[in-house]
Amino acid sequence: MGEPAGIGAEVTLKAWMRRHAETVPPFFVIDDRDRLAHLAADLRLTIPVKALTTTDEALSVFPEALPVLPHPIGPFVQPGHPDPAAGRVVMESIAKAVDLARSGAVAAIVTNPIHKATLYASGFAYPGHTEYLSDLCGPGYRPVMLLQVQDLRVVPLTVHLPLRNAIDALTQDLIETTARVVDTALRTDFGLSDPRMVIAGLNPHAGEGGTLGIEEITVIRPAVSRLQAVGLNITGPWPADTLFHAAARRQYDAALCLYHDQALIPLKTIDFDTGVNITLGLPIVRTSPDHGTALDIAGRGLANPSSMIAALGAAAALAAQRSRWAAIPAPS
């Protein structure tokens, strides 16, 4: 569902309209059926919306109507105007999706963007989607955010932190733990037999031998050396300003970045419309469009569904690859 006042429902409706494209796998929506039908009518989109009794009906319904597993909101939220009263319903829709994925009823989940301020007002106790999903999956998991577009995958080691705090949070343990999760996921979910990872430097010119900063020497290189010692194919730290051009991108499968914008700026510059947010390290496959709720354009018919379509396609591909990996017998 995501934030009902945002563009999530609109991009979902428009993704269903592209259902005949090879990149759009069959899906159903956990949402309020009447809300979606009203929104489709308001946007002048000819989309039949059908409520499901069970998830098993979704495949047969999908070719002719958007399948919806009913999750009533109550009084409809107005586009562009978040209502904290809907926050609990949004959280419950995410929990329902996780339950379905963990039970095997669905192969993957794709989450629409949430509006954190609204959720916080309704008692949401997590920094964001990722941490909530991890808690729903149970203890022992280390979720990692990977963002993907075209030929680039980036992993921000620190995410929604002020830059000063992000630098303080950068530790050898954080680098090593994250790199291990990424290495495993690149094998199990992306089908890479020898994943190549790089890590960016923090300072200009990756510290220029310590003259422009010492974090590369004191934190990053020791972590990389330990990871190499246990067999991970990782190199760096590399100067961030030369890590993302086309020739450089061909040298690695994922780049570990040290803070949010270091990862997101190259990704969104390369392709702003089709980025996908993927959560690694969980027992379920979860993707999301790499954009926010866009409250300023909600309900106006202007939302671009490209990122949602990319997220749906990525979810299907990751689930299929994970299934193939699980089917490989363990070595005796």
Distance CA(190)–CA(184), nearest Å, equals 9
| CA gap 246, 150 in Å, rounded | 11
Tokens representing 170?
Answer: 């950068």
Q: Outline where DSSP puts E strands in the chain.
A: 29-31, 49-51, 66-70, 109-110, 144-149, 152-156, 197-200, 234-238, 254-257, 276-280, 286-289
Residue 117 covered by a domain: yes
Residues 202 and 249 in one domain: yes
Please report whether residue 292 resides in a domain. Answer: yes
Tens-digit pLDDT profile for residues 230-251: 999 999 999 999 999 999 999 9
**Among 249, 270, 291, which residue terminates a domain?**
270
Q: Are residues 232 and 308 in the same domain?
A: no
Same domain, 207 and 254: yes
> Quick one: pLDDT at residue 22?
80
Q: Is residue 50 a part of any domain in this protein?
A: yes
Which domain covers residue 115, as residue numbers?
1-139+283-327
Instruction: Please tell me whether residues 309 and 181 are part of one structural domain.
Output: no
pLDDT at position 327 = 61
Same domain, 119 and 3: yes
Query: Do both 163 and 208 map to the same domain?
Result: yes
Kindly state whether residues 229 and 123 are assigned to the same domain: no
- Distance, in Å, from the CA atom of 6 to the CA atom of 78, rounded to the nearest integer, reads 9
Count of domains for the chain: 2
Is residue 157 located within the same domain as residue 265?
Answer: yes
Give the pLDDT of residue 150.
86
Check if the beta carbon of residue 155 is closer than 8 Å to that of residue 144: yes
Give the per-residue pLDDT at 332: 41
pLDDT < 70 positions in the chain:
326-332
- 229 with 132, same domain? no
CATH number at residue 201: 3.40.718.10
Report, in angstroms and rounded to the nearest whole number, the Rg of the chain calculated over CA atoms: 21
Say if 146 falls within a structural domain.
no
